[in-house]
Amino acid sequence: MIEASELPTLQGPRVSLRWLTERDVDALYELFGNADVARYWSCAAYADRAQAESLLRQVHDCYARHTLYQWGVTLDGDDRVIGTCTLASLDASNGRAEVGFALNRSHWGGGLMSEALRLLLDYAFGTLGLRRIEADIDPRNAASIRLVERLGFVREGLLRERWLVDGKIQDSVLYGLLDREWNRERAGS
């Protein structure tokens, strides 16, 4: 795992993944406070800025324990966070993690998250040497399902009534991607 005091910046053609700091709290609140963005998450949209402050503390604490690596997504030439990409439930001994991602509503549909996730997956399978990445997606979230499938993830099952969000019971579809599948995918690009 990473021994540096913060996550490295991962640079793509249009987006960067960078360490989240105090200056990003307002952007995190805007992101996770949006009902459209949080619609298919395992928690409700943020009701106040304090929740974004708490998230940032949690991100830094979990990074120190090597259980979660969460980057802010920014556009090339603009340092404002427009989304996040996450490796959660990091398990170095088993070479696995879960991927999470969110993008500000105003940037949906432009392929930015696809680019960001490619950076993340290259880092996870390459630098970190992980063997397996999982994605837990609400089955109603067609856009996220299309995205992970385009990246080579394979649907592995339905977890019925997995989450209770805002008083509503939600199912979850589990997807998996192995390092050898990602390497084949990258070789074909």
CA atoms within 13 A on the CB side of 118: 16
pLDDT 10s digits, 77-103? 999 999 999 999 999 999 999 999 999
Give domain status of residue 125, yes or no: yes
- Which helix or strand (DSSP H or E) is residue 31 part of? helix 25-32
| Cα angle 71, 74, 76; round to 5 | 135
Domain range enclosing 152:
10-188
Q: Looking at residue 58, what is its pLDDT? A: 97
The answer to whether residue 156 sits within a structural domain is yes
Q: What is the CA radius of gyration of the chain?
A: 16
**Local structure of 47: helix, strand or coil:** coil
Range of weakest confidence among 18-27, 58-67, 110-119, 161-170: 161-170
- Total tally of structural domains belonging to the chain: 1
Q: In whole angstroms, give the CA distance from residue 119 to residue 116.
A: 5
pLDDT category of residue 167 using cuts at 50, 70 and 90: confident
Q: Alpha-carbon distance 184 to 37, whole Å?
A: 31
Distance between CA atoms of residues 85 and 124, nearest Å: 12
pLDDT in the model for residue 189 = 62
* Assigned domain for 1 exists: no
pTM of the model: 0.93
Domain of residue 140, CATH code:
3.40.630.30
Average pLDDT over residues 38-43: 82
